[in-house]
Chains A and B, each alone.
Chain A
Amino acid sequence: MIVGERKPYEEIKSMLEGSRKILLAGCGTCVKVCFTGGDKEVALLASQLRLSAKKDKRNIHIMEMTVERQCENEFIEEIAPYVDAYDVIMSMACGAGVQMLAQRFPEKIVLPAVNTTFLGLLEKTGFFVENCQGCGNCVLGDYGGVCPVTRCAKSIFNGPCGGSQNGMCEVDPQTPCAWELIISRLRALGQLERLSKTTPPKDWSSARDGGQRKLTREEQILS
Chain B
Amino acid sequence: MNTQSNLERVLESGAFAVTSECGPPRSAAGDVILRKGLMLKHCTDAVNVTDNQTAIVRMSSLASCVLLKSIGIDPVLQMVCRDRNRIALQSDILGAAALGIDNLLCLSGDHQSFGNQPGAKNVYDIDSMQLLACARDMCENGRFISDLGEYEMDTPPSMFIGAAANPFADPSDYRVLRLAKKVNSGARFIQTQCIFNLKKFGRWMKDVRAMGLHEQVYILGGVTPLKSAGMARYMRDKVAGMDVPDSVIRRMEGLKGEAAREMGIKICVETIKKLKKMEGVSGVHIMAIEWEDAVPQIVEMAELLPRP
Would you call B181 and A162 a contact (CB within 8 A)? no
Residue B193 interfacial (CB < 8 Å):
yes
Most buried by A among B127, B145, B241: B127
B128 to chain A, nearest CB (A): 8
Residue A60 interfacial (CB < 8 Å):
no
Bound together, the chains give a CA A202 to CA B85 distance in angstroms of 12
Would you call A198 and B181 a contact (CB within 8 A)? yes
Bound together, the chains give a CA A199 to CA B146 distance in angstroms of 13
Write out the residue numbers on chain B whose beta carbons fall within 8 Å of the beta carbon of A199.
Answer: 129-130
Would you call B111 and A171 a contact (CB within 8 A)? yes
Would you call A201 and B125 a contact (CB within 8 A)? yes
Among candidates A166, A195, A196, A202, residue contacting B170 with C-beta atoms closer than 8 Å: A166
Q: Encode contact with A along B116-127: 1 for CB under 8 Å, 0 otherwise.
A: 000000101111
Most buried by A among B82, B129, B166, B240: B240
Bound together, the chains give a CA A166 to CA B168 distance in angstroms of 11
Write out the residue numbers on chain A whose beta carbons fall within 8 Å of the beta carbon of B174.
Answer: 160, 183
Would you call B125 and A154 a contact (CB within 8 A)? no
Bound together, the chains give a CA A153 to CA B113 distance in angstroms of 10
Write out the residue numbers on chain A whose beta carbons fall within 8 Å of the beta carbon of B127.
Answer: 154-159
Nearest A residue to B241, CB-CB: A162
Bound together, the chains give a CA A171 to CA B133 distance in angstroms of 26
Most buried by B among A156, A157, A195, A203: A156
Most buried by B among A154, A162, A163, A184: A162
Bound together, the chains give a CA A151 to CA B236 distance in angstroms of 25
Would you call A161 and B108 a contact (CB within 8 A)? yes
Tell me the B residues contacting A by CB distance below 8 Å: 81-82, 86, 108-111, 113, 122, 124-130, 133-134, 145-146, 164-166, 169-171, 174, 177-178, 181, 184-185, 193, 240-241
Write out the residue numbers on chain A whose beta carbons fall within 8 Å of the beta carbon of B125.
Answer: 201, 204
Residue A167 interfacial (CB < 8 Å):
yes
Nearest B residue to A156, CB-CB: B127
Bound together, the chains give a CA A218 to CA B245 distance in angstroms of 64
Write out the residue numbers on chain A whose beta carbons fall within 8 Å of the beta carbon of B110.
Answer: 163
Residue A170 interfacial (CB < 8 Å):
yes
Query: Contacts A160-B174, A183-B174 hold; do A198 and B241 have CB atoms under 8 A apart?
Result: no
The 8 nearest A-B residue pairs measured at CB: A170-B240, A162-B166, A158-B129, A156-B127, A163-B240, A162-B241, A201-B126, A155-B124
A189 to chain B, nearest CB (A): 15
Query: Contacts A154-B122, A159-B127 hold; do A201 and B86 have CB atoms under 8 A apart?
Result: yes
Bound together, the chains give a CA A166 to CA B169 distance in angstroms of 8
Write out the residue numbers on chain B whose beta carbons fall within 8 Å of the beta carbon of A198.
Answer: 129-130, 133, 181, 184-185
A sample of 20 more A-B contacts (CB under 8 A), given A156-B124, A165-B169, A196-B177, is: A153-B111, A154-B82, A157-B127, A157-B130, A158-B178, A160-B170, A160-B178, A162-B165, A162-B166, A162-B240, A163-B169, A164-B171, A166-B170, A180-B170, A197-B184, A198-B130, A199-B129, A200-B130, A201-B130, A202-B126
Most buried by B among A160, A177, A199: A160
Would you call A154 and B111 a contact (CB within 8 A)? yes
A142-156 residues with Cβ-Cβ distance < 8 A to B are 153-156
Among candidates A154, A159, A165, A180, residue contacting B241 with C-beta atoms closer than 8 Å: A165
